Amino acid sequence: MTYKHIVVEPISGSIGAEISGVDLSRPLSDEAFAEIHDAFMKHLVVSFHGQPLTPETEIAFAKRFGPLIVDPYVKAHDKYPEMLVIVKEATEKNAFGESWHSDSTFLERPPAVSFLHAKEVPPVGGNTMYANQYLAYETLSEGLKKELLKLRAVHNTSRSYARSYQTNRYAGRTMQLRDDDVIKEAITKEVVHPVVRTHPVTGRKALYVNKTYVIRFEGWTEEESLPLVRYLCAHAVRPEFTCEVGWAPGTLTMWDNRCAMHHPINNYHGHRREMHRVVAEGDVPA
């Protein structure tokens, strides 16, 4: 596609691009949206700098990619239940989501797209890394690819949110877990997804395993599963599959959870960082 409404500049040879020439706080024409969607499908992660978005305009843009998800674990924005205010205060040590993962794979219909809008960023550090899971799958041996196509993985939050809720690990943190029937039901759930999923738009296959939420392979024990899960998770984030995205106030970055993983880098101790996140629901992985 030749772009008439946007300018696209790749930021690495494997994943990621910056898009300019468009103001996301204003209504987009169908033609401009189609160009953004095309660039997004090609690059998996796209950033728009200098976007003066309010919660309303960020939510409106995100809804063009599908219905938004209300997080079952983390307390949301006071006025907007679809939005998480992701904050690390200058005095806090732990950052939210501090590991390689794809968002909320414990859901039956995990997010297709995540949107993160920077409100306050540290003077240095606080970047986010992304990894191309198409390449993670395509660079495996033919023998392993054949075996992985047979496998399904069990996802839940027993190592993350569920454990934090049960041990009150979020006590004293700026961000808080919910304390209602929604989270009490969510921590008991397990879902099963294919280890290799086919993207519903591009038709390409992507590795779909992360160490945050994958507990074991279906029909395997956790002990049996662990070596292969560790290998796949290490392979999935090889440097040649990745890019690093920097932030400034007003930057909006969106990524495709169906074929990319991300990792926020917690290297800005002593400084405050605030981001507004919404996620668009995806399909049942197939």
What contacts 46, CB < 8 A, 6 or more positions away?
A: 8, 16, 17, 18, 19, 36, 39, 40, 253, 254, 255
Q: Are 251 and 51 a contacting pair, CB within 8 Å?
A: yes
The three-class DSSP label of residue 39 is helix
Q: How far apart are CA 192 and CA 266, in angstroms?
A: 30
Predicted TM-score (pTM) of the model is: 0.96
Q: How far apart are CA 31 and CA 281, in angstroms?
A: 23
| Strand segments (E) across 156-236 | 191-194, 196-198, 205-207, 214-217
Q: How far apart are CA 161 and CA 277, in angstroms?
A: 18
pLDDT given for residue 172 in this prediction: 83
> How many angstroms separate the Cα of 61 from the Cα of each of 54, 82, 254, 274, 278?
11, 13, 11, 20, 10
Domains of the chain (ranges plus CATH)?
7-281 (3.60.130.10)
pLDDT given for residue 2 in this prediction: 87
Active centre residues (catalytic): 101, 103, 262, 277
Mean pLDDT by 10 residues, the chain (286 residues): 94 98 96 98 98 98 98 96 97 93 97 98 97 98 98 95 89 91 95 98 98 97 98 98 98 98 97 98 97
The three-class DSSP label of residue 18 is strand
pLDDT given for residue 215 in this prediction: 97
pLDDT given for residue 127 in this prediction: 98
Could you tell me the two tokens for 261? 């993983």
Containing 120, the helix (H) or strand (E) segment is strand 111-120
